[in-house]
Amino acid sequence: MRLQEKVAIITGAANGIGLKAAEIFAREGAKVAMADFNKEQGEERASELREQGYEVRFFQVNVSDRQSVDSMIEQVIDQYGDIEILINNAGITRDAMLAKLTAEDFQTVLDVNLTGVFHCTQAVLPSMIAKGKGRIINTSSVSGVYGNVGQTNYAATKAGVVGMTKTWAKELGRKGITVNAVAPGFIETGMTAKVPEKILNQMKQMVPLARLGKPEDIANAYLFLASDEANYINGTVLHVDGGIMM
């Protein structure tokens, strides 16, 4: 198994991509800390995975609040020991055209998608440094690389994630810690399930593979970057988008 006995934190793990990543990481032998704000859903999903024989625990966290993040990290270390893998997967959207985007919605998305990544990464560093190695994987987006109409706040955060990823890769490499990002394209999640079929078909037509991605497509990219197979990959942004931005 590719992650045997490694301790991994996955934020935003109560549903969607994060949940699929938790399942795949646990299947590959990791001890998985499923971190999410949604306690009821997170505990239910973690219980289901434990029933399948996987080593997973749920930890409630508000990634935009540093005290909440610090508490979560302490609990994970108490439960499992030093942390080797951090997947900064948690994210939200509050889409609107620039003229109608409220300052509150702009800031809320920044607090979760950008400041939350900073909080979780900085909080986990002492554990990784003590371990002498680590994998930090941040979730960006094609919107953060190329922009997207109606996503000023979201695109700004995902572009910021790319900048932080490359900066941290330079800072932390000598400590045995690699930092990379994954940039998903259009993925089938709870969010896309609410999109009208006409719009979904338009989205599919934009993709050379003529379909949306699945959560496991992103989760498998996380798995590769977290594994020993990616030992010499540092500071990269891996696009998993069906070729939409070629």
Q: What is the pTM of this model?
A: 0.96
Residue 7 three-state SS:
strand
Q: In this predicted model, what pLDDT tens digit does every residue of 167-188 receive, in sequence order?
A: 999 999 999 999 999 999 999 9
Q: Is 154 a catalytic residue?
A: yes
Check residue 241 and report its DSSP letter: S
Residue 165: strand, helix, or coil: helix
pLDDT in tens, 115-168: 999 999 999 999 999 999 999 999 999 999 999 999 999 999 999 999 999 999
**Structure confidence at residue 202 (pLDDT):** 85
Residues 6+ apart with CB under 8 A from 164: 114, 117, 118, 121, 138
Q: How far apart are CA 92 and CA 96, in angstroms?
A: 13
Q: What pLDDT is recorded for position 203?
A: 83
Residue 78: count other Cβ atoms within 10 Å of its Cβ.
Answer: 8
Mean pLDDT along residues 209-215: 95
Q: Which one of the listed residues 80, 154, 222, 232 is annotated catalytic? A: 154
Write out the two tokens for 206: 């934009």
CA nearest to 8, candidates 16, 17, 18: 18
CATH number at 7-187+214-240: 3.40.50.720
DSSP state of 16: H
d(CA 133, CA 155): 31
pLDDT band per the 50, 70, 90 thresholds, residue 13:
very high
Whose tokens are 């371990």? That residue is 131
* pLDDT beyond 80 at 227: yes
